[in-house]
Amino acid sequence: MQKTSYTYKLTEPQQKRLIELVRTGNYRPTEIPYTHIAADAENCRIALYTSGKCVIQGKGAHDWVTFVLEPLILESATLGYEEIHNPEVFQPHMGVDESGKGDFFGPLVIAAAFVNKPLAKAFDEKGVRDSKTVTSDKKAEEMARDIRKMLGDRYAIVTIGPRAYNRLYAKMRNVNNILAWGHARAIENLLEKVPDCPRAVSDQFGPKRQIEQALMKHGRSIDLVQRPKAESDPAVAAASILARAGFINALRKMGEQHDIDIPKGASDRVREAAGKLMEAHGPDILLDTVKCHFRTTDAVLEAAGHSRKDLGAEGQPVSKPFGKRK
């Protein structure tokens, strides 16, 4: 089963070529907001957004990309040549990614997923991709269910709940140290299931030695690779979906437990929800529901007439920047 949706970021010259092609070719124009041009071809739709993003969707998308977009617009051949251009993504390895790092409420969830050649091809056919490009929580959870079925037991998930997260931050004083610890635990846990996995790939969030130092004896021999935009790797993409689904599920359960809608992120709605929880349960509830080092904690406490001292040692203030949020 081939993919039915493809997305490319086009340069200005490529955009001009595409616009000319669509205007002069056998295409049926259609209206889509925020596009330079949009049209229907045979069995697919092409939309070039003002951002430069080109989206091709439909059962004929694969053929249109192969026989039109690549030779005439991109002037390069990649589709169907992945094993030639990126052979390492088809070799056995695991990917690691996390979700919840930039969210005030809820846990930090780290997932590790194993991939070999058959799994990499299966993920590609299923459209497994970086969870940040999946806009629907429902879709992310559906994709996670499919990924778990394909992997069997060849994945691992580490969930660091708010109380444990706050204890770790009080001890480590740095989000990257917590990430390194969580990534190491996920790698170790997956190695117990796939002991001969030779390589682990993750996004670059800090010095590689942070994870290497956190690995136990079992994981010391694995080749650890950190690189920007690692979510393009099928194993990392699968891990990102698994982590996202785990985080969504944790927020849902938290909301059900406290009979309140728990929003993602760190917006005004988030501060409002935290204020309602404190009003019902007192400031200690923050230790069990939020990441207390966020500056949002100060705003929530101050609005309710409280301060950091009401949270004890685990509700420590932010003493220094804690890195890029995800």
Count the Cβ atoms, other than its own, within 10 Å of residue 192: 11
What are the residue ranges spanned by the domains of the chain? 5-80, 87-252, 257-315
Task: Work out the percent of the chain whose per-residue pLDDT is above 70.
Answer: 92
Reduced to 3 states (helix: H, G, I; strand: E, B; else coil), residue 87 is helix
Find where tokens 């590609």 sit.
124
Reduced to 3 states (helix: H, G, I; strand: E, B; else coil), residue 317 is coil
Contact predicate 5/18, CB 8 Å:
no
Q: How far is CA 129 from CA 32, 53, 109, 320, in A?
A: 24, 16, 18, 33
Domain 87-252 has CATH 3.30.420.10: yes
Q: Which pLDDT tens digit goes with each residue over 263-301?
A: 999 899 999 999 999 999 999 999 999 999 999 999 999
- Residue 59, pLDDT score: 92
- Residue 243, pLDDT score: 97
- Residue 1, pLDDT score: 59
Pick 5-80's CATH classification: 3.40.50.2300, 3.90.470.20, 3.40.1170.60, 3.30.310.10: 3.30.310.10
Give the amino acid at 205. F
List the chain residues with pLDDT less than 50: 81, 84, 319-326
The answer to whether the predicted template modeling score (pTM) of the entire model surpasses 0.85 is no
Q: How far is CA 120 from CA 82, 89, 198, 246, 248, in A?
A: 11, 7, 16, 22, 25
Size of the chain in residues: 326
Task: Supply the mean pLDDT for the chain.
Answer: 89
DSSP for 140-186 reads: HHHHHHHHHHHHTT-EEEEEE-HHHHHHHHHHH--HHHHHHHHHHHH
Q: How far is CA 305 from CA 221, 275, 283, 317, in A?
A: 52, 11, 10, 16
Dist CA 192 CA 120 (whole Å): 21
Dist CA 196 CA 104 (whole Å): 37
